[in-house]
């Protein structure tokens, strides 16, 4: 009897222990929260198709349209003038900008003229006796002959007369002097147009050598901007096309025209060189400008940020409070924008990218 009581007591203790442990475990369980649907707030924009101008952006450095690089063709000491040969110095058209000491060479030219003068005097007695009809013409030429001034052209001669004059060495002496005078003129450089010195390589007293660069001279009234445009836009460019130019900080605008288009595509960059002419007193050579070339107007188009266009030319629209992907057709890309066609008017597009966005995502438009 005692064994039976002990067995029943043990069974009761086991059952009580099981029930106690179960109640402890059940007390630690928490109810699973009910997930709430998350609705993302986004920015939207409504599509209104209009005519959008296709603007091709480009940039480049401004250079003078007319530039004169000054080189010396003779040797001598650089002589100073009333105007200093300094950067920024302005000169009028036809004004002497550079003078090189020509005293030694000028003396050799005068000596050659003196020799020709002696040859002319030597033939006068023969002309008077053998060709009396030619004597007055050459006497008049000899009377007007001035050694210090540029030599005058020889009188017109008949064939027989030319043989006589050339046989006395006069013709060869004359052309030698013309060559020396041409060389003498190179000791002075005159300006072909009104302009300004932008670079100086010599100063007064410098020994100038043949082929030495002396400086640079430009016309500051006319400039051109050389820009590189992708070859895919080649058919949109034309001579005389209006171009808007802006400085680096966008504070000033200038008007220009396409003046030249290179007919060759650069093999490395696959671009075409376009030259834009511009005139403005506020411009300076070397200035960086951005060009906005208006190619054409695209009808029934809409422009958005490039960051909104997804791979495969797809775009998020907002329909029934959800994001949905649609296919679009881009017709022009700029650095920051893309022009699209084929989107119906009234379509609501996503205006700013959404991190982690996907088709079917619940959204609400920010008011």
**What confidence score (pLDDT) does residue 297 get?**
83
**What confidence score (pLDDT) does residue 10 get?**
65
Q: Where in the chain is the domain with CATH 2.40.50.100?
A: 67-101+187-218
CB 44, CB 348: distance < 8 Å: yes
pLDDT digits (tens, 9 = 90+) for 204-213: 889 999 999 9
pLDDT digits (tens, 9 = 90+) for 114-125: 999 999 999 999
Count how many Cα atoms sit within 13 Å of the Cα of residue 26 in the half-sphere of its side chain: 6
Q: Give 68's strand partners.
A: 217
For the chain, helix, strand, coil in percent to 5 are: 25, 35, 35
Specify the pTM.
Answer: 0.66
Q: Where in the chain is the domain with CATH 2.40.30.170?
A: 56-64+220-295
Q: What is the CATH number that goes with domain 42-52+299-365? A: 2.40.420
Q: Would the pLDDT of 100 be above 70?
A: yes
- Tell which CATH architecture fits domain 67-101+187-218: Beta Barrel (2.40)
pLDDT digits (tens, 9 = 90+) for 38-86: 788 888 899 999 998 888 888 899 999 999 999 999 999 999 877 889 9
Q: Where in the chain is the domain with CATH 2.40.420?
A: 42-52+299-365
pLDDT digits (tens, 9 = 90+) for 258-296: 999 998 988 888 889 999 999 998 899 999 999 988 878
Least confident of 96-105, 141-150, 204-213, 331-340: 331-340
**320 Rama sector, left if φ>0, alpha if ψ -120 to 50, beta otherwise:** left
Q: Which fold has domain 56-64+220-295?
A: Elongation Factor Tu (Ef-tu); domain 3 (2.40.30)
pLDDT digits (tens, 9 = 90+) for 134-163: 899 999 999 999 988 999 999 998 888 899
């Amino acid at each position: 009897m005692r064994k039976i009581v002990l067995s029943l007591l043990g069974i009761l203790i086991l059952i009580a222990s099981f029930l106690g442990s179960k109640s402890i475990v059940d007390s630690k369980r928490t109810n699973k929260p009910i997930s709430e649907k998350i609705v993302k707030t986004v920015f939207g924009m409504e599509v209104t198709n209009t005519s959008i101008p296709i603007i091709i952006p480009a940039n480049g450095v401004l250079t003078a349209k007319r530039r004169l690089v000054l080189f010396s063709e003779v040797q001598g000491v650089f002589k100073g003038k009333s105007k200093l040969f300094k950067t920024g110095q302005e000169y009028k058209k036809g004004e002497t900008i550079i003078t090189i000491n020509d005293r030694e060479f000028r003396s050799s030219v005068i000596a050659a003229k003196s020799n020709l003068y002696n040859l002319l005097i030597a033939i006068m007695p023969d002309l008077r006796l053998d060709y009396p009809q030619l004597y007055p013409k050459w006497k008049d030429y000899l009377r007007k002959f001035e050694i210090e001034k540029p030599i005058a052209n020889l009188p017109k001669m008949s064939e027989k007369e030319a043989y006589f004059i050339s046989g006395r060495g006069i013709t060869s002496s004359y052309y030698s002097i013309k060559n020396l005078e041409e060389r003498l003129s190179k000791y002075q450089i005159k300006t072909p147009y009104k302009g300004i010195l932008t670079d100086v390589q010599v100063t007064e007293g410098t020994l100038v050598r043949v082929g030495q660069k002396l400086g640079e001279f430009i016309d500051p009234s006319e400039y051109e901007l050389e820009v590189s445009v992708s070859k895919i836009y080649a058919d949109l460019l034309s001579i005389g096309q209006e171009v808007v130019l802006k400085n680096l900080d966008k504070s000033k605008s200038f008007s220009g025209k396409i003046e030249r288009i290179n007919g060759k595509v650069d093999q490395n960059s696959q671009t075409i060189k376009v030259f834009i002419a511009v005139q403005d007193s506020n411009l300076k050579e070397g200035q960086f400008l951005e060009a906005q070339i208006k190619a054409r107007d695209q009808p029934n188009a809409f422009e958005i940020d490039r960051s909104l266009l997804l791979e495969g030319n797809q775009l998020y629209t907002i329909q029934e409070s959800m994001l949905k992907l649609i296919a679009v057709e881009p017709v022009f890309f700029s650095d920051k924008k893309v022009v699209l066609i084929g989107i119906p008017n009234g379509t609501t597009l996503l205006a700013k990218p959404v991190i982690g966005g996907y088709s079917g995502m619940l959204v609400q438009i920010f008011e």
